[in-house]
Structure 1
Amino acid sequence: MPDFMQRRRIARMLDRKAEQFADRSSPEKGWIAAMRLALGMSAEHVAQRKGVSRNAVYQAERSEKEGSISLKQMENLAAAMGGTFVYAIVPDAPIEQLKYRRALERARAMALRQSGFADWSDDEKQDWIDDAAAQQLHDMPSDFWETT
């Protein structure tokens, strides 16, 4: 497991990359067809460049739309059309925010197991939860992401 500094560098890199993918919508006909049509390339031309049949190109376009195409196929087709296939996992929020949400979830669950917690004032409860969440973020225990 990377140390804190490595995790933070990776998180910042992912956050910067996520900004580039803010618009994650795909073309209506898929990326293969969109690139091919934009280039004015027939399926036959792509097939010749890739060394497959025209029907294989059409099948790949259908598979892409269905979500069953392989990453390798996308990579090869992109290269055949003079492009590069990019694969990414884009976080739904900044990495630190995702970690903080999880730390709060864990802190709230821990609070319910805290003796007499229900009798504490709202301020005491919130302080305890905030402290527990901060401790979770600091320690990042090995079970941090386990589901309960």
Structure 2
Amino acid sequence: MRPTDRATARRQLDQRLNRISDAEALARPPRGWIKAIREALGLTTAQLGRRLGVSQPRVVAIEKAEREGAITLASLERAAHALDCRLVYALVPRRPLEDMVRERAELRARQHLESASHSMALEAQGVGSADEQEQFERLVQRLLERAGSDLWEEGE
């Protein structure tokens, strides 16, 4: 993917994810969505089992797997269908993707400039703080313009 396409994709995802204003409201209930909805509808595990085409003990196992975070998406999808629900699956970043990429670019720029600054200081070629800030901003912008997987490499 080209860097400009990647930046556009980030902005579009940020816009879509902003619509999920309260991600905590979507957090799995302590006993799991399947059990919460089944009980709210008044279905027994045996009745849900018939809808799923599985045994009653298997429904208990499915609910337990969801509660423990060990359920597969395919099983969740089947359970959702049996409960006349839609499965909504999303990874919701804790902050905007644009912010995450900018912070990473700033970190990488700082690392690069600290290394260069140290070398220049050893050669008595120090740079003033205004020039240093300008270099920092230019480097951040350059990193953002080509922001790819190399931005996330560690220790370079």
Match of 1:143 in 2: 150
Structure 1: which 5+ runs fail to align? none
> Aligned partners of 1:51 and 1:81: how far apart in 2?
13
- TM normalised by structure 1 equals 0.87
Aligned pair partner of 2:77 in 66, 75, 78: 75
**TM-score normalised per structure 2:** 0.83
Cα deviation 1:29-69 (Å, max 9, x = unaligned): 11111111121211111110110011111111111111111
Cα gap change, 1:98 to 1:117, in 2 (>3 Å): farther
Q: Which has the larger radius of gyration?
A: 2
Partner of 1:7: 6
Q: 1: CA distance between counterparts of 2:13 and 2:112?
A: 30
Kindly state the Cα deviation for residue 12 of structure 1 after the two structures are TM-superposed.
Answer: 3.0
Q: Which moved more, 1:118-127 or 1:97-106?
A: 118-127
Q: 2:23–2:92: 8 Å Cα contact kept in structure 1?
A: no
Q: How many residues align?
A: 147
Structure 2 unaligned regions, length at least 5: none
Aligned CA-pair RMSD: 2.0
Q: Is the 8 A contact 2:3 2:148 kept in 1?
A: no
Structure with greater contact order relative to length (CA < 8 Å, sep ≥ 6):
2
Summarize deviations over 1:63-107 as a string: whole Å, max 9, x none: 111111111100110011001111111112111111101100110
> For 1:130, which of 125, 130, 137 is the aligned residue?
137
